[in-house]
Structure 1
């Protein structure tokens, strides 16, 4: 498989990850049962002062979720742009970051989310090893 295809596969995987994360980030307050609803309510209803603002853990959770939508979308676009002109200098750090993200998701979240990042990371690392060492500038 050519590096371009491997990076596009990684980009599509991250786009799917972005879509799934967006759905989760927008619907996390819709609890499937009463026990989880009590936790959600506690996260949203208990405000405390933090750096001059009144915040809740629910607001932090929302904020981190929205930031991650942006990060995942940025990774999707970056992988697609790299696929147009694979550059080994940038491919390796992106691939390593995706593997790190996948391991973190596996540790703190759930395997389904981790699979997207881990597969995208492996595909990106594959593209790194398949890309030419040197590319002429002309």
Structure 2
């Protein structure tokens, strides 16, 4: 597998992650049971003053979810962009970012989301190995 293909696989994995995250973000208010419904209700209806605004934890939760969609789309675009011209430093940074993201998703969210980031990070890292193999005679 070429370095270019590895980065494109990583980009597609992150794009799929972004689509899944979009559906999760748009549907987070649908409660699977009454207890969760009570928590969601409290998140939406209990407001407090923060930096001159009245906000709720639902505002933060939804805002972070939407922000993460943009971050995932940016990472997918960068991975695809760098597949045209394999540059070690930016790809190394993206690899580290994806592996840290995978760890965070595993610890704080769930393993299915973490698997996409982990596999994308591994693919990005493999592209660096493939490039270095190609560069050595």
Q: Same fold (TM over 0.5)?
A: yes
How far does residue 33 in structure 1 lie from its aligned partner after superposition? Answer: 1.0
Which structure 2 residue ranges, 5 or more long, are not aligned?
none
Does 2:57 align with 1:66?
A: no
After superposition, give the CA deviation of every residue in 1:19-52 in whole Å (9 maximum; x if it has no partner).
Answer: 0000000000011111111010011100000010
Aligned to 2:131: 131
TM-score, normalization by structure 1 = 0.94
Q: Please give the alpha-carbon distance, in whole angstroms, between the structure 2 residues aligned to 1:12 and 1:65.
A: 20
Aligned to 2:119: 119
Q: Please give the alpha-carbon distance, in whole angstroms, between the structure 2 residues aligned to 1:57 and 1:90.
A: 35
After superposition, give the CA deviation of every residue in 1:63-89 in whole Å (9 maximum; x if it has no partner).
Answer: 100100000000010001011111112
How far does residue 133 in structure 1 lie from its aligned partner after superposition? Answer: 8.3
**Alpha carbon RMSD of aligned pairs, Å?**
1.4
Structure 1: 4+ residue segments shifted above 6 A: none
Q: Secondary structure at the match of 2:49?
A: strand
Q: Please give the alpha-carbon distance, in whole angstroms, between the structure 2 residues aligned to 1:116 and 1:133.
A: 26
Which structure 1 residue ranges, 5 or more long, are not aligned?
none
Aligned to 1:24: 24
TM-score, normalization by structure 2 = 0.95
